[in-house]
Structure 1
Amino acid sequence: MSWNIFSRLTSPKKAPPVISKEEEKEFEREVHKIEVLDEATKKLYKDMKHCIEAMGALSKTQCRIGQNLAASPVLNTEESLKSLEQINKSISQIESRTQELNANSVRMMIEPMKKFSTIFPSLYIALKKREQCLQEYSRCQGKLEKYQDRERTGPNLAKLESCKKNLEAAKEEYDRQHKELMEAMPSFFEGRVEYFQPCFEALIKSQVTYYTECFKIYVDLAVQLEDKDTLQSDEDFEMDLHRRLCEIRALSIVVDD
């Protein structure tokens, strides 16, 4: 199990164990589940951020390509410019839908994950406090055993009685901390499903709406371009492109490699 996040306290002399191995293993299993959940939440948050950034960058790049083509001599015939105008209009509509999707993604996933992640630091503080209580419990147990082995003199008996009280108080505090965590950690872990399920459902619905609307925009664009006989099969497109490139290469101003 990974315990480095708690920075376990150590002493020069190893204290005797005060809890069973079964209890410690059960506790560490719950801690491990929390650690895995924390790491998974961080990765999901990072991936969602990258997805939103990539969607926005792609949309802006498409808009710039259309603008650059309109301002360049690559397409300067009246018919080509009209087709390009229709394409740019469709790209602009898709950019608007993309911005809406990204805003929904932030609201439905990014913000809920940020709020969910704020719980982990408090939980780790509670875990470390429980660890400190366990160390104090163990220290008191060791001190009691030391005085139990000493001569039964008045001062030693007084110290022995004091050690018993300290041990009882340390045990009560440890038991309280341990019980609270063993109730809180499983509840927190199981609560992740109920918390994130609506987020995922809302995100999926938003994506379905986005891609459905984009499909409709492209279908409408294809119909408009098809009326001008600009659509070709992949094979015809490749053949036509190759023919035109050969004609350009045949010009006297073009030097063969």
Structure 2
Amino acid sequence: MSWNPFNRHSAKKKSVVSRTTEREFGREVKRVESLDETSKKLYKDTKRWLESNSALSNSEHKITQDLLTSPLCQTEPQLNAMVTEWDRAIEKQNLHSRELNNVVQKTMAEPVKRLNTIFPSIQAALKKREQSLQEYQKSQAKVEKHQNRERTGQNVVKLDLSRKAVERTKADFDCQNQALSEDLPKFVDGRIEYIQPCLESLIKSQVSYNSEALQIYSELADQWHTTTDLSELKSRHQQTLSDIKALAITVD
């Protein structure tokens, strides 16, 4: 919330509202501003997390696809079998990854986004209260001005009109001030009750996702152990590297 009703150049003017009242109200406004900043940051971080999770799945899948199309996999049946099993595991994991993103989007990103739509309304209400307070103070200043003038018939009429304007503007300000003074604390205090189910869902969905990932990759490790002689494959690769190092390049 970029607008702050308490950073006013007119602060030196005598206010119709006590300093204690304004100080307490300002404290609640700062709490709302802090919640606004935190909520916006939470939404941005959640969207960034969703994008990163999708990018991670795509990157891992690209690795296996690049390996499967490489000359090495095409000439090494054992390596090809291992990468194929890895690629299948990734496909399974990607299903859980997309499911996780859907859950996080519905139970975290969207609720926080809805929360963020409330702050512009609060900002508008604060501006309206400030405008009402300014009108109240102007009316009160006019009363004080006419009170100090000679009590002619015309000045008495002006004083009476000014007092009625004070009553009207005061009633308008008191109504807005009371509503905001009651609603702002309730709104801020309700943040925990609102966001807690979102966080619980986020944690539970991540636990489920990581449990599935552990199971998938544990099964993959078992498959690699039982279907592939890794020591033989390693020995063959070492021999290939040794042969490459032994090559002599001559220039005529």
Which one of the candidate residues 238, 241, 252 is aligned to 2:248? 252
Quote the offset at 1:145 in angstroms.
0.6
For residues 206-225 of structure 1, the aligned pairs below 5 Å read 206-225=205-224
Q: Match of 2:24? A: 26
Match for 1:56: what amino acid?
A: S
Match for 2:245: what amino acid?
A: R
Q: Match of 2:105? A: 106
Moved more, 244-253 or 140-149: 244-253
1:230 paired to 2:230: yes
Quote the offset at 1:246 in angstroms.
5.3
CA contact (8 A) 2:6 2:26 kept: no
Match for 2:211: what amino acid?
A: T
Which one of the candidate residues 72, 75, 87 is aligned to 1:74? 72
Q: Match of 1:203? A: 202
Q: Match of 2:3? A: 4
CA contact (8 A) 2:107 2:198 kept: yes
- Structure 1 Cα separation of the partners of residues 122 and 223 of structure 2: 59
Of all paired residues, the percent bearing the same amino acid is: 42
Aligned length: 248
Quote the offset at 1:118 in angstroms.
1.2
Match for 1:202: what amino acid?
A: S
Match for 2:248: what amino acid?
A: S
1:188 paired to 2:187: yes
Q: Match of 1:57? A: 55
- Structure 2 Cα separation of the partners of residues 246 and 149 of structure 1: 106
- Structure 1 Cα separation of the partners of residues 130 and 49 of structure 2: 39
Quote the offset at 1:250 in angstroms.
2.8
Quote the offset at 1:249 in angstroms.
2.8
Q: Match of 1:39? A: 37
Q: In 2 relative to 1, CA 138–243 (structure 1 residues): closer, same or farther, beyond 3 Å?
A: farther
Q: Deviations over 1:64-120 (max 9, x none)?
A: 111111111132211111111100000111111111101111001011011111111
Unpaired runs of at least 5, structure 2: none
1:48 paired to 2:46: yes
Alignment TM-score, normalising by the size of structure 2: 0.90
- Structure 1 Cα separation of the partners of residues 178 and 250 of structure 2: 83
For residues 117-136 of structure 1, the aligned pairs below 5 Å read 117-136=116-135
CA contact (8 A) 1:15 1:142 kept: no
Q: Pairwise CA RMSD of aligned residues?
A: 2.6
CA contact (8 A) 1:6 1:127 kept: yes
- Structure 2 Cα separation of the partners of residues 111 and 168 of structure 1: 45
CA contact (8 A) 2:143 2:163 kept: yes
Q: Match of 1:173? A: 172
Alignment TM-score, normalising by the size of structure 1: 0.88
